[in-house]
Structure 1
Amino acid sequence: MSTLASALRPAPALDALPVINLEELGDGEQHTPAHSRLARIAREIGFFYLEGHGIAPDQIARLEAAARQFFALPPAAKQQIAMAQTRHFRGYTGVGGEITRLQPDLREQIDFGEELPAVPPGPDTPQWWGLQGPNQWPTAQPELQADILLWLDTTRAVAQRLLKAFLIALEQPASALNQLVAPPHNNRLKIIHYPGQASGQSDQGVGPHKDGGLLTLLLQDQVGGLQVQTAQGWLDVPPRNNAFVINIGEMLELATNGYLRANVHRVRSPGAGISRYSIAYFFSPSLHAHEVPLLQLPPHLASQARGPESDPLNPLFSHIGTNALKGRVRSHLDVAQRFYPQQYAEHQAALASLDPAQTAAAQAYAY
């Protein structure tokens, strides 16, 4: 069978996500069978478990405990770092405060980013520079800052190793995307609490979506709820102790012309009286890189590239800042309305132009 014919065959049905061991991919630049397996898995499903990442279980446990401690704080202590008071999209968001597929997500969360100075706004400064800036830190939990900054550094190193492995898997120079992820970094961290929901109510912990960066590294607790969309329907992604769940982001899909796949996923809320916690790290292009480059894949891989997909409600741009700000605006309307009125108005106008069939399709967001 030809390479192209093989590419057009439907992917085999999955009953569980595959597992990749980062140690097996090594730190060198030699292409191995482990790299071929990585490329195949990423193309077919775009999701897998990552083990052998080298992060100590004690560090994971410490951050998980810190997350539970924060969400147990009184509401006023959490609202002290409310995201709505900063243009940098950093801080606390209460249940229902983030929107996915036109519906509120039933989760509370804290968003952090790389700790960097703000870029002063001005008439000649693009609005998307507002994404860079300092974090907000809760005074009721001062030790959280050190834990978060350490986690950003530690997880960035894992993501960089994994990105290098992807490039080798695609027969690219290991340094091919160095400029795209060079400092100053633009990576984000989201610590999330999904409170239990009573039967018969909405169970949208987070609605169906793709992630917008390069790679997402997710830690989840022992309460399930994450699902990834496959050709056969929604596949449960149960917890795996001290393993990351990895998924491809839209920017890596764009850079590979769709050879690597950013897949749709969602989280269903736990039942009444149960809480779910997760920690999501989003490895993203630097705002200073401006544009996502298109990798020149070898012919036998390029023939299998399907082109990047684009959600009509969330069109995909190769310009990094424009794409990143667009994603933040549509998810956090209160921040957008206060600090980005032009982008907020454009988003509202786009929603108003949808007919009922388009709105229903947008909410379903299925292949």
Structure 2
Amino acid sequence: MTDKYSDGKLPVIDISDLNREQEIAKEISTACKENGFFYIKGHGIDQSLLDSLENKSRDFFSHPEAEKMQWRMELAKQAWRGYFPLCGELTSNLPDWKEGLYLGTELDDSHPLVQKKTPLHGRNLFPDFDKEFKSTILNYIESTTKLGHRLMELIALSLQLPRDYFQSKLTLGDPLILFRLFNYPSQPEPQTKDGKPLWGVGEHTDYGLLTILYQDTIGGLEVKSRGGWINAPPVPNTFVINIGDMLDRMTGGLYRSTPHRVRLNTSGTDRLSFPLFYDPNFFVSVKPIENLEPVENQDDSATRWDNFNLHKPFEGTYGDYLLNKIGKVFPQLKDDVL
């Protein structure tokens, strides 16, 4: 059964009942068409794991920046892993008022993709302030990736496709998994740069298939609905799910990759969020879904944050597409990754 959060905007979908798959798929279809965002409950991830990740992350970010820089992103080179300091990441050429730790699927140095120096593949840089932090992160990535598999099956069913459609054609059993720990330090008042307001994260859409977000109790996420910006506040025992650009592209605009942003945190308490990006396989070329009728006027580049036409044909793989975006987010790391 789908219920509405108290603001009456984004639906909360219970995915726990395997006997209701078709009904759940219909609820997901409606949410993807209307907002591109929804909450899920009944996800099966243990609250103790979520609490452990939050507590250990809060401890990590509490250390002085000089100590956290022992795991700075420059050290990971093309693997694109590690810590970046406050305002070290850009959105639309403005610094985000956050710091973070970039992570992903753990691959050791003997893995063939690492041997070939494939960008975005390699070892993570695990902080060692807490000896259990590494296992907590890896358990979380594994659990949430399995949840991503489940959600992509439901999305396939919502499009009246075979449940393994995305696995067989897009992820090939090996999706590109990018995981982030973000900390938004509290500020006494809003900040500006060159007369422009700063955001925790500025307006953007996500690049890949699906984002699975766990957020603490502070809040700050905002979603650009057809009627204007709406809040996506924390809801206990849920994840926030949103559609990425590649799913928008594959469905011809039927499922919407919706712009979103994060307010500057002035709550008095630092805010944590944990997005996991479940993306196409690095080497796959993303094509429209066969026999799916695209929506009319699918080119919305005039209103997009980056003025990019998602539905204009482009050559190359998802990896090519993603690497083209990286230099704009971390220009100082562009030569290390590309």
Q: TM-score, normalised by structure 2?
A: 0.86
Distance 1:48 1:245 in 2: 6
Matched, 1:292 2:286: yes
Aligned pairs for 1:77-92 (under 5 A) are 77-85=67-75, 86-92=77-83
Residue 169 of structure 1, CA deviation: 1.0
In the TM superposition, what whole-angstrom CA distance separates every residue of 1:208-239 from its partner, at most 9, and x where no partner exists?
00001111111111112100001221101111
Comparing 164-173 and 78-87, the one that deviates more: 78-87
Q: Which of residues 53, 66, 85 is equivalent to 1:63?
A: 53
Bigger helix fraction: 1
Distance 1:307 1:178 in 2: 25
Residue 174 of structure 1, CA deviation: 0.8
2:151 is matched with 162
Cα 1:303–1:103 shift into 2, 3 Å: closer
Aligned pairs for 1:311-350 (under 5 A) are 312=306, 316=310, 317=314, 319-340=317-338
In the TM superposition, what whole-angstrom CA distance separates every residue of 1:49-104 from its partner, at most 9, and x where no partner exists?
11010111111111111110110123232101101222221110111100001100
Distance 2:92 2:254 in 1: 25
2:261 is matched with 266
Distance 1:284 1:254 in 2: 13
Q: Which runs of 5+ in 1 are unaligned?
A: 1-13, 341-367
Q: Which secondary structure does the structure 2 equivalent of 1:277 belong to? A: strand
Q: Which of residues 209, 215, 219 is equivalent to 1:220?
A: 215
In the TM superposition, what whole-angstrom CA distance separates every residue of 1:110-149 from its partner, at most 9, and x where no partner exists?
0101012464687xx8xxx312111111232332111111
Q: Which runs of 5+ in 2 are unaligned?
A: 1-6, 193-197
2:101 is matched with 110
Cα 1:75–1:96 shift into 2, 3 Å: same
Q: TM-score, normalised by structure 1?
A: 0.80
Aligned pairs for 1:1-367 (under 5 A) are 15-24=8-17, 26=18, 32-85=22-75, 86-117=77-108, 119=113, 129-179=118-168, 180-202=170-192, 203-271=198-266, 273-288=268-283, 290-297=284-291, 302=293, 304=295, 307=298, 309-310=300-301, 312=306, 316=310, 317=314, 319-340=317-338
Q: Which secondary structure does the structure 1 equivalent of 2:176 belong to? A: coil
Comparing 90-99 and 263-272, the one that deviates more: 263-272
Cα 1:339–1:113 shift into 2, 3 Å: closer
Q: Which secondary structure does the structure 2 equivalent of 1:282 belong to? A: strand
Residue 270 of structure 1, CA deviation: 1.5
Distance 1:227 1:169 in 2: 25
Cα 1:236–1:78 shift into 2, 3 Å: same
Distance 2:297 2:14 in 1: 27
